[in-house]
Structures are given as structure tokens and as C-alpha cells.
Amino acid sequence: MYFNSFDSIHIVPAFLFLLVTLGVVFFRYRKYLFPREKTINYTINGKNAIIRIVSLVLSLVVLSAALLEPTGLVEDPSARAQGIDCVWLLDVSLSMDVPDIAENDSFISRLAKAKSVIENYMITHPENRYGLVIFAGKSRLVSPLTSEHSSLLTFLASIDSKSIAEGGTDFHDALELAIERFDTKDTIPHAIVLLSDGGDREDAPDTDSIKNLFHRKDTRLISVGFGQTKPSPIPVGQDSLWEVAYKKFQGETVLSGLNRESLERLADIGKWSYIEWNSVGKGLEKSLSTVSHHAFQDSWGNSNDMTVPVFIMISCFFFLIFLLLPSSFLKRWNAL
């Protein structure tokens, strides 16, 4: 067991609450502790008085502990979620802006399609926990594994090719960051879904170093390829005439197409499958359905933990003893 609010901001008020209430208890019920202080019309039951005072003190102590938000002592197994842990690994390099994905009689960018794949799957499978890592030349964790999908989808909507300034496609760094999201003590298989166009030929993944990342890890990798195999120019904005400007290198327009080979090699290392964007719906559904579901707690704060309610019930129990157990009795009936 540990306390979520074990800091000065919470400890000081809890301590002051306990100190003041115990002081009030002492002065209010000191007649039960000092035999010389007797009432005229009442007789004191010493045993009951001690039980009553101890019950009140225990009630206050347990209630003060509850103010520090204890967790990890009692969980509600029936309330634990059942699903899979899945980290989305999203390529946000400039080449993902190429609009060569046909959809609804128009063309959208590879990144827009990849984001819609993530959003659609999360909406249709709310039982799972999801995390999000974006990468280009460097990687960044956008969201840890969480059941709070609305916040993750909000972050996802704001992501574009400018989210990471470093150019390129570093698969090793991205996969390492994604694998770190999982609990290494958990033997249940986890899933990483890599959504990318495979990067340039010079960005080919270092298979040996990536194999070491998956060594003795219960983590599987699905790679999803976006884009046409025929290379297309990479848009980088607009020129002075408001025409679309394309990325150039040494005066030549840079072309980018789907690098299927890189993504297939990564899927082989991750011991899973490679899927292309035009069949991603059924392919992703089929692959992720094979992952074993397991129980987990919400990463936003142990929503299934029953420790605080149990502490409050214990406090109420002791307080009920204090209220119901008489500590003094009338010596005689005083008629008005």
C-alpha cells in the first residue's frame, strides 16, 4: 500500500485535523479519564468509556489516513477492465504529408489516413488501453498507456509533420520508446502498431539492434504501410506565388514512395504481420484480435482501487461504536 497524496500539501492539513479533533475529544471527555471528576446525577461505566474513546480516536486516525488517498490495499476485481495494451507508433516525418491515398474520390495525405486508422480503431474498441508515440528523426511520447481515450484522441488531432523538427525516420529510437511503455513483469503479450511509409532507403532499419529490443520481450509488432509504391514529391508548403512547394535536395525534387521492404523486415522482427493501408481495417482487426486480453487498472489513478472507500467504512464503523455505546447512566430519574 502507498499514499497518492503523501506530500506536505496533504499531510499538514491531515495532521492539523487529527491534532485539533483529538484535542477536542480530550477536553470533552476528560471526565472519563480522571476519576475525580464525577457528575452528580450520572454514574460512569469505565470499561464502556474507554472503548468509546478508543473507537472515536481510531475513527479519526483512519479518516485522516483516508485524506492522504491510500491505494494498493483493496481492489475491486469485478471492476477491472479487460482488454489489451497497444501502443500506436506514428511516423510524422515530412514524407507522410504526401497526398497519395485515395479516399472518397479525392486524395489525402499518408499522415491523415494513419490518424484516421488510429481514431477509428480506438472508437470501435474502447475496452483497450492505448499509448501514442510519434517519431521522425527523434521520438516523443505523446501519451502513456491509458483508458482515457478522449484525451489521447485530442492529442492525436493536433499532430502534424511539424510536431517533431528533426527530419528522418529513426525506427530504433521509436521502437525502444514504445517498448518501454509496457510492464516488463507482465507475461501477457503486448502490441505495437507502427504506422509509416517505411522511410527513405537510407533510413533502412538496423535489424540487429532492433532484434535486441524485442529479445525476451512479450511484445509483438504490426507494421502498417501508407502510400503508393510509385514515388511522389513531398509538399513542404507554398511558395511566393501561393503554389505548392516541394522538398528539394541539391536542386532536385525529392520523391518518396512506400518502402514496403523496411516495414516487412520490422514485422518479421516483431513476430507479427505487415499490412498495407488499403486493407488496414480488416487486417488490423484480425491481428489485434489474437492478443490475449488481461485485466488492468486505469493509468489515470487506480479507478478500480477500493482502499479509500474501505478506509472510510472502517472510520464510520468505529464512529458508530462511539455513538451507540453508552459510557454513563443516570443514577435516578429526574422528573421535570
Give the list of residues 6+ apart from residue 296 with CB closer than 8 angstroms, or none.
Answer: 80, 81, 83, 85, 129
* Under-70 pLDDT residues of the chain: 1-7, 10, 28-46, 72, 74-81, 183-187, 201-203, 295-305, 327-336
Residue-level pLDDT at 230: 93
pTM for the whole structure: 0.66
Type of residue at 293: H
The pLDDT score that the predictor gives to residue 323 is: 81
pLDDT of residue 41: 55
* 213 within 8 A of 173, measured Cβ to Cβ: no
d(CA 281, CA 278): 8
Residue pair 108/124 in contact by the 8 Å Cβ criterion: no
DSSP string, 41-83: SEEE-HHHHHHHHHHHHHHHHHHHHHTT-EESS-B-GGGSEEE
* The pLDDT of residue 299: 45
pLDDT in tens, 49-87: 788 888 888 988 888 888 887 776 765 555 556 788 999
Query: How is the chain split into domains, by residue range?
Result: 2-74+305-330, 79-230+257-296
- The type of residue at 43 is T
- pLDDT score of 34: 57
Q: How many CA atoms lie within 13 A of 86 on its CB side?
A: 30
Structural fold of domain 79-230+257-296: Rossmann fold (3.40.50)
Tell me how far apart the alpha carbons of residues 130 and 192 are, in angstroms, rounded to a whole number.
10
C-alpha cell at 65: 489516513
pLDDT tens-digit map of 246-288: 888 888 999 999 999 999 999 999 888 999 999 998 999 999 9
Q: What is the CA radius of gyration of the chain?
A: 31
| Per-residue pLDDT, 304 | 58
DSSP category for residue 170: -
Which residues are CB-contacts of 297 (< 8 A; sequence separation ≥ 6)?
A: 75, 80, 81, 303, 304, 305
Q: What angle do CA 251, 256, 259 make, to 5 degrees?
A: 145
Name the residue with cell 504501410.
225
